[in-house]
Copies of this chain bind each other. A is one copy, B any other.
Amino acid sequence: MLQSKLLTKISKTFPEGEESKNAKWLIRGGFIAKSSSGVYSILPLGLRVLRNITEIVREEMNALGSEELAMPALVEKKYWEKTGRWGVDVIYKTGNEENKKDEAHDFEFGLGWTHEEVMTAIANNFIQSYRDLPKSAYQFQTKFRKEVRAQGGLLRGREFLMKDLYSFHLDEKDLESFYLKIWKAYNNVYKRVGLKTIVAEAGGGDFTKQYTHEFQVLNTAGEDLVYYCSKCKFAQNKEVFKPENHKDCKEEILNAKAIEVGNIFRLGTRYSEAFNLKVKLESGEESRVVMGSYGIGITRIIGTLVEEYSDERGIIWPKSVAPFKAHFINLRKNKDKEFKKFFALYEKLNKNSNEILFDDRADKSAGEKFAESDILGIPLRIVCGEKTGIKLEIKERSSSKFKLVSYKEIEKYLAV
């Protein structure tokens, strides 16, 4: 991609009124734009990061044998009423409240902030026999939550992207076996996107009365407080924390702010009861389906990555999710032989994958180009200028070391 053709530009200053580090850098770099408090547009550069994350999550969910679908945002009142969740605080409502006489308003909807209700209703069409179990399905879907305070940039929004997966089982034992598998898949996801998580026990909120598990990234930007042990695996969210649960280990309990990037819930039969989802057993008897639900905050991961990986000069994206693999920067004033060689390398490497950003702008100084490149946070910066001669200068965003290397070597770097 030629940088001169990008829809967005990098701003010289931070946006006004944004306090969180992630929103500051992401807006300044042109990854996102603020639309309202807690509501952001994902701009082309941000969408590239988002795609890389969703692709990793998709691979891990598919590896569990789960199928992708897409449920609606307009979820009718009757669904929420079955589970007693029409009255929750976070639900945005729309529809017929304005004018009950108008046929168009004959429906009251709550904007989907989670999809247990719709998913269980769908499952009812396809799960009838024990032979139909286990099954699971997931979606990447925009969720809406009427937050009292939308804050922290992409960490807590009123509209955000989530991966939510729902699983259906014959009994608690089968749920438990899947629960451990998805726990492992979540560990894979966070490792692959570059986040170190600890798994904390937590309460079930509006979802379940059982203990649930939260995947937490220890970071001062987080709103959660996690109590954990650095020696054993003990970790609990503030709301459920009891020191006596840690009596077998003598290590001191620490606590730290954390960002919840995912959670897994054993739902039991709460939703299958509400929607009368049951299967016929081999014996002819009927049995309630046992369910689980599992969320990953996709846009929240983007925000968390910036909180974790940035310095005073900008973002430092992990390679697996970076918007581009490499940032080629041309400093040559003339379209001479060396420029042509550099551009030809870009064209060759970029042809199939479009994973290289080429700074072709003539109206920016070397200093401006470098500063902007640091803000964007692309893992590799490759420079061609008068001073690099027949070689190219390569620098990792995460390091301060420069190196002059031959064209042959550059190709090796970029093949990784």
Contact = CB atoms under 8 A, between A and B. Distances in A.
Contacts of A126: 7-9, 30
A46 B69 CA distance: 8
B97 A97 contact: yes
Contacts of A381: none
Interface stretch (A99-107, A190-198, A257-265): A99-107
Contacts of A43: 69, 122
B41 A122 contact: yes
A130 to B, nearest CB: 13
A69 B44 contact: yes
Nearest to A71: B41
A73 B36 CA distance: 11
B36 A122 contact: no
B103 A149 contact: yes
A13 interface: no
B35 A76 contact: yes
Given A94-B94, A125-B33, A41 B69 contact: yes
A225 to B, nearest CB: 23
B159 A73 contact: yes
A7 B69 contact: yes
Interface in A44-89: 44, 46-47, 50, 65, 67-76, 89
Contacts of A107: 36-37, 158
Contacts of A30: 126
Interface residues on A, range: 35 or more
A79 to B, nearest CB: 8
Interface stretch (A139-147, A213-221, A241-249, A408-416): A139-147
A110 to B, nearest CB: 9
A147 B41 contact: no
B118 A74 contact: no
A145 B354 CA distance: 36
A74 B122 contact: no
A135 B8 CA distance: 10
B98 A93 contact: yes
A324 interface: no
Contact of A72 (B41, B72, B74, B118): B41
Contact of A47 (B65, B68, B75): B68
Contacts of A122: 33, 41, 43
B104 A148 contact: yes
A345 interface: no
Contacts of A149: 103-104
Interface in A142-173: 142, 144, 146-149, 158-159
A340 interface: no
Contacts of A41: 69-72, 118, 122
Nearest to A97: B97
Given A36-B109, A44-B68, A107-B36, A142 B73 contact: yes
Interface string A94-132: 110110001111010101000000100110011000000
A227 interface: no
A344 interface: no
Interface of A: 5-9, 11, 30, 33, 35-37, 39-44, 46-47, 50, 65, 67-76, 89, 92-95, 97-98, 102-105, 107, 109, 111, 118, 121-122, 125-126, 135, 137, 142, 144, 146-149, 158-159
7 contacts: A9-B126, A33-B121, A35-B71, A35-B76, A44-B69, A46-B69, A92-B94
Kindly list the 3 A-B residue pairs having the minimum CB-CB distance in the complex, ordered from nearest: A44-B67, A94-B94, A42-B70
